[in-house]
Amino acid sequence: MNNNYLLSHRKEEPENGILYMVGTPIGNLNDMSQRALNILKNVSLVACEDTRQTKKIMNKFNISNQLISFNKHNSSIKTPKIVKDLKEGKSIAIVSDAGMPGICDPGEEIARSVKSEGIDIICIPGACAAITALVSSGLPSSSFVFEGFLPKKQIDRDKILLEISKNEKTTIIYESPKRLKKLLKELFELCGGEREIVVARELTKKFEEHVGNNINNVMEFFRDKDIIGEITIIVKGIQKRNLNPNKFIIKKDLNDLINAGLSLSAASKYLSKRNGLKKSEIYKMI
Ligand code: SAM
């Protein structure tokens, strides 16, 4: 443990003039952290996506504090006031309906505005559907791409779907239950039925479900079902491309032919014909 770590824990929270981005549960209220509760209780005010949602958390944990609504419809009006309050020394918490604010939820833009004014932001980490689904998928998780919701416009959507089909990294997608079957069909067409995926439904909730392990199986599983609940999809990347093995075989063949007495030119000519390559391409390989 280094000294910086210890120092950071000596601070009393919340501090004046700080914007706190507070993670809240994605279904299971027991995932609320002590630190997040302390912030919600003691900041000057809590700006929430939907005050009714945040009230549920406040009531469950017997917290009362001033709540104001802050969402995509009013953020341009509310942001200057929040920045002013922070500059005057208030501490403010941003909370979305579920999970981490700023991840496909209000928070991203206010974080930019606040930072550009030189005000500090502290994130109080909490559940995030993307990471929860990734970690439980069993698919490679140390390097991944988070796409969030795919665009609705087909031309933009197709572009991203094509990228996903060629990506070597695991991809995380948010999708509404209404559109899951369409997305599975699109993935099937571009990636093939054998591509590994996991559909995580209702994470952390009573009817949590993980459906895998490839596109064929998942399509079959949902074929005759009405899909409800919240959905996160994890798609495995394609196998890392190996260096073209032909290159090594051709090099070995070339050596063998030269060792057997052929000139470089004759051996290259022979191999270029056999492999359907130009002689110059054979030369490049060596
Ligand atoms: N900020 C949130 C986070 O940190 O995960 C994401 C908010 S985004 C508006 C909502 C989407 O997240 C849902 O449509 C779904 O794709 C995914 N999601 C949220 N809760 C989930 C859950 N319990 N299980 C599976 N996916 C979930």
pLDDT tens, 144-168? 999 999 999 999 999 999 999 999 9
- Please name the helix (run of DSSP H) or strand (run of DSSP E) that holds residue 112, with its range, or none: helix 108-116
Domain limit, last residue, from 67, 100, 127: 127
pLDDT tens, 94-127? 999 999 999 999 999 999 999 999 999 999 999 9
Range of the domain at 199: 130-239
Domain limit, last residue, from 111, 127, 143: 127
Give the number of the atom of ligand 1 that is nearest the alpha carbon of residue 204: 23
Residues 10 and 87 in one domain: yes
Cα 63 to Cα 47, 60, 118, 191, 192, distances in angstroms: 15, 8, 30, 49, 50
* Cβ 20 under 6 angstroms from ligand 1: no
pLDDT given at position 10: 54
Residues 109 and 224 in one domain: no
Residues 110 and 200 in one domain: no
Residues 261 and 193 in one domain: no
Residues 170 and 149 in one domain: yes
Report the separation in Å between the CA atom of 26 and the middle of ligand 1, taken as the mean of its atom positions: 7
Residues 210 and 259 in one domain: no
Q: Which residues of the chain are modeled with pLDDT < 50?
A: 1-3, 243, 245
pLDDT given at position 1: 42
Residues 57 and 157 in one domain: no
Query: Is the previous residue joined to 217 through a cis bond, with omega within 30 degrees of 0?
Result: no
* Cβ 136 under 6 angstroms from ligand 1: no
DSSP characters for 70-112?
A: --TTTHHHHHHHHHHHHHTT--EEEE-SSB-TTSSSTTHHHHH
Domain count, the chain: 3
What distance in Å separates the CA atoms of residue 20 and residue 34, rounded to the nearest whole number? 14
Give the number of the atom of ligand 1 that is nearest the alpha carbon of residue 202: 24
Residues 118 and 170 in one domain: no
Report the separation in Å between the CA atom of 130 and the middle of ligand 1, taken as the mean of its atom positions: 7
What distance in Å separates the CA atoms of residue 8 and residue 171, rounded to the nearest whole number? 34
Q: What percent of the chain has pLDDT over 90?
A: 79
Domain limit, last residue, from 239, 255, 276: 239
* Cβ 129 under 6 angstroms from ligand 1: yes
Residues 134 and 227 in one domain: yes
The CATH number of whichever domain residue 16 belongs to comes to 3.40.1010.10
* Cβ 103 under 6 angstroms from ligand 1: yes
Nearest alpha-carbon partner for 15 in 34, 43, 38: 43
Ligand 1 probe mutation, 231, 233, 234, most atoms within 8 A of CB: 231
Residues 107 and 200 in one domain: no
Residues 231 and 264 in one domain: no
Ligand 1 probe mutation, 26, 108, 208, most atoms within 8 A of CB: 26
Residues 121 and 144 in one domain: no
Report the separation in Å between the CA atom of 4 and the middle of ligand 1, taken as the mean of its atom positions: 33
The CATH number of whichever domain residue 180 belongs to comes to 3.30.950.10
